[in-house]
Structure 1
Amino acid sequence: MLLKTLKGRHYLLLVMVPVFLVLLWIKAFISPVSLTYGQNQMPLYRLLESVTGGSVTAMNIIGCILLILMSLLVVRLNEKYNFIRQRTDLPAFIFALIATGTVSLYGMHPSLLASFLLFFAIDGIFAIYHGSRTLAKSFEVGLFVGLAAISYLFAFVFIFWFWIALAFLGYFRIREILAGLIGYLVPIFIVVSFYYLKDELGVFIDTIKGLVNYEFKAEYSFIQMMYWGIILGFVLLSSAFMVKVVEEKKISSRKYFIILFVFFLTAVTSFFLFSGAGTELYFLVLIPITFIISHYFVQSRYSWVGELLFAIFIGAGILIHFLG
């Protein structure tokens, strides 16, 4: 009955999700640890560190606020474009569980800031499909991808996702491509110009080299890997369900989910392409995974199987904090 109850409209859930998210992420405040210690970071993230005076706790508070905002924004995005075909607050709850499911990521990281910025790029891509202000929206998408890239280096690959999305939407035209490319280059140009005028361009280049050449090494508990396996299992199950019902969907909904899936594949591909990219890419896949899994739980017919799977999903998301 839990799934049947939560997949409706419950404004109280939108109030409880931020509290729930804070409780799941409480370790970031009790025992704050810098996730970027000893590494130079991209300019926009460094600016944020300067504003907070380098306080790990303050940065983690900002990170938690970003997660809360994103949990609410995923609900807004579905209401705006209705690609799950039901108004539901369940994506906020699912996002909170998934977002806190990697115990090594209790805290602020450049990829979390990039994920927040890329959310608005996704919103802009969906808006392009409606055909109004396509040039302005293309510029906005490129701008947000560019801002994400100067926050977290490996987010630069999402410019390719943008071009692929344009092709799926039928707007792979020179003017939209150029508008997006200009938007993408604007923040990068400003950053390069700033470092050049300060005669510190070499510092910026060294930062990029350091991030690219960094060899990510980490060991994870069996429980953590098992949790990721459960999430992957739900992604595969939800994707198979989506393929099964794709003919019942509006053309726009199909395109939106394809774009989200390509977004997911772009982040996963980055993990294998760049040695410096590691677990933090988990933050970048939060949005597509949330919608893919939410679609399954909301659209699948009510049955004891669905309730059991939902209970497993919730149980795994909570237990990882005690066993991971």
Structure 2
Amino acid sequence: MINQFRTSNPINLLLLFAYTFFMRIVLLVEIPDALNFEFLEPYTKFFLQIPLTSAFSPTTNVIAAGLIIFIQAIIFNIIINNHGLLPKPGYLPALLYITGASLFMPFLVLSPTLICNFLLIWMMDKLLKIGKSQNVIMIMFDIGMIIAVGTLIYFPFIVMLLMLWLSLLLYRSFSWREWVSGLVGFITIFFFLGVFYYLNDNLGMFYKIWLPLANKFPATFKINYNDYLVLVPVSVMMVLAMIQLRDNFFRSFISTRKAFQMLFFMFICAIISFYTKPNFRLYHFLLCVPPGAVLLAYYFSNASKRWFYESLFLILVLAIQYFLFV
């Protein structure tokens, strides 16, 4: 299967579409009685009402989520190939994106993070352009606005603001205009939001938006390890990918090295941002899928022992299906 998706054969699009819904077969076989979908944060619903949650039956919810994942995978695949992060273009990024977006049951249905991944993929594309552009002020401004829109949908997305400056540290020499422009883009969106709250005599509610940023990072975690056993094969692949990346690191283009460092920071930001939402759900970690999928695709595009990497991927797919059904 991996060998098939290493190529740019157009038939892979049909295979990816079928694979997307195969990974969701557990929900298609036994549709839940009800699935709740909260599209926006409460502070966004105050001024923007979208009658979306009631419009989706459980069946429509599952199918719509599958279609969104498929569309995101194709966009993601185009971006990774355009930036040349893999040895040769193919459909491995899309395959690994769909696989990563099928790890847990909450990943299979509509969620705010699923919508935010459109913004995260768009943001990833812009960040990868920083090292190739002479003037990045407008790029940073756009990224700041993208993060602000993501924060309106799902508050923990705000932690991606760190990526503005981490990326500049990696790609650019210091320029205060570039460091400020992204923040200005972010503030622009929330300035208009603040004006709306002020005109409706709810400025105190606007202040409460930012209170989760003062949350303490949890010192203890309550984890049911049985729920996360599916991550064992993923962890093995990630370790192998990092070993592969280390071996090729100084033989790669400088832009490729910096790109993978940037994606690593994005992966970490996606993980740690959960602390800003005390009642966060497992679907939060869907934000880790885009940067994680690039690393996995890098491993499978460079792996040489076919029997090993094909078996490893098959084990992952079977493990996902087993833990979804049980």
Quick one: which of 66, 71, 74 aligns to 1:72?
Answer: 74
Which secondary structure state, in structure 1, belongs to the residue aligned with residue 42 of structure 2?
coil
User: Percent same amino acid at aligned positions?
Assistant: 20
Structure 1 residues 174 and 229 mapped into 2: Cα distance closer, same or farther (>3 Å)? same
Q: How much has 1:212 moved relative to structure 2?
A: 7.9
Structure 1 residues 141 and 229 mapped into 2: Cα distance closer, same or farther (>3 Å)? same
Q: Distance in 1 between matches of 2:254 and 2:213?
A: 40
Aligned to 1:43: 44
Q: Kindly provide the amino acid, as one letter, of the partner of residue 54 in structure 2.
A: G
Q: How much has 1:204 moved relative to structure 2?
A: 4.4
Structure 1 residues 157 and 244 mapped into 2: Cα distance closer, same or farther (>3 Å)? same
More deviation, 113-122/259-268: 113-122
Aligned to 1:321: 324
Aligned to 1:168: 170
Please give the per-residue CA displacement for 1:169-205, whole angstroms capped at 9, x wherever unaligned: 1244211112111111122222222222222334444
Structure 1 residues 177 and 195 mapped into 2: Cα distance closer, same or farther (>3 Å)? same
Task: Check whether the contact 1:41–1:207 (CA below 8 A) recurs between aligned residues.
Answer: no
Aligned to 2:307: 304
Quick one: which of 240, 259, 262 aligns to 1:259?
Answer: 262
Matches of residues 22-171 of structure 1 in structure 2 within 5 Å?
22-25=21-24, 27=27, 30-31=31-32, 32-34=34-36, 36=38, 41-43=42-44, 47=48, 50-52=50-52, 54-57=54-57, 63-171=65-173
Which secondary structure state, in structure 1, belongs to the residue aligned with residue 96 of structure 2?
helix
Task: Check whether the contact 1:97–1:318 (CA below 8 A) recurs between aligned residues.
Answer: no
Structure 1 residues 63 and 199 mapped into 2: Cα distance closer, same or farther (>3 Å)? farther
Which secondary structure state, in structure 2, belongs to the residue aligned with residue 100 of structure 1?
coil
Aligned to 1:279: 282
Task: Check whether the contact 2:87–2:301 (CA below 8 A) recurs between aligned residues.
Answer: no
Q: Kindly provide the amino acid, as one letter, of the partner of residue 12 in structure 1.
A: I
Task: Check whether the contact 1:212–1:275 (CA below 8 A) recurs between aligned residues.
Answer: no
Q: Distance in 1 between matches of 2:276 and 2:204?
A: 25
Task: Check whether the contact 1:297–1:310 (CA below 8 A) recurs between aligned residues.
Answer: no
Which secondary structure state, in structure 1, belongs to the residue aligned with residue 143 of structure 2?
helix
Q: Distance in 1 between matches of 2:206 and 2:54?
A: 19
Q: Distance in 2 between matches of 1:46 and 1:15?
A: 41
More deviation, 277-286/59-68: 59-68
More deviation, 10-19/76-85: 10-19
Structure 1 residues 45 and 194 mapped into 2: Cα distance closer, same or farther (>3 Å)? closer
Structure 1 residues 212 and 286 mapped into 2: Cα distance closer, same or farther (>3 Å)? farther
Structure 1 residues 56 and 78 mapped into 2: Cα distance closer, same or farther (>3 Å)? same
Please give the per-residue CA displacement for 1:140-180, whole angstroms capped at 9, x wherever unaligned: 11111111112111111111122101110124421111211
Aligned length: 319
Structure 1 residues 291 and 133 mapped into 2: Cα distance closer, same or farther (>3 Å)? same
2:247 is equivalent to residue 244 of structure 1: yes
- Runs of 5+ unmatched residues, structure 1: none
Q: How much has 1:82 moved relative to structure 2?
A: 0.5
Matches of residues 157-236 of structure 1 in structure 2 within 5 Å?
157-206=159-208, 209=211, 220=224, 222=226, 224-236=227-239
Q: How much has 1:320 moved relative to structure 2?
A: 3.1
- Runs of 5+ unmatched residues, structure 2: none
Q: How much has 1:131 moved relative to structure 2?
A: 1.8
Which secondary structure state, in structure 1, belongs to the residue aligned with residue 88 of structure 2?
coil
Q: How much has 1:92 moved relative to structure 2?
A: 1.0
Task: Check whether the contact 1:163–1:172 (CA below 8 A) recurs between aligned residues.
Answer: no
2:12 is equivalent to residue 9 of structure 1: no
Q: Distance in 2 between matches of 1:159 and 1:206?
A: 19
| Superposition RMSD in Å | 3.1
Q: How much has 1:105 moved relative to structure 2?
A: 3.4
Aligned to 2:20: 21
Task: Check whether the contact 1:135–1:175 (CA below 8 A) recurs between aligned residues.
Answer: yes
TM (normalized to structure 2)? 0.85
Q: Distance in 2 between matches of 1:98 and 1:231?
A: 9
Q: Distance in 1 between matches of 2:98 and 2:207?
A: 36
Q: Kindly provide the amino acid, as one letter, of the partner of residue 139 in structure 1.
A: F
Q: Distance in 1 between matches of 2:139 and 2:102?
A: 31
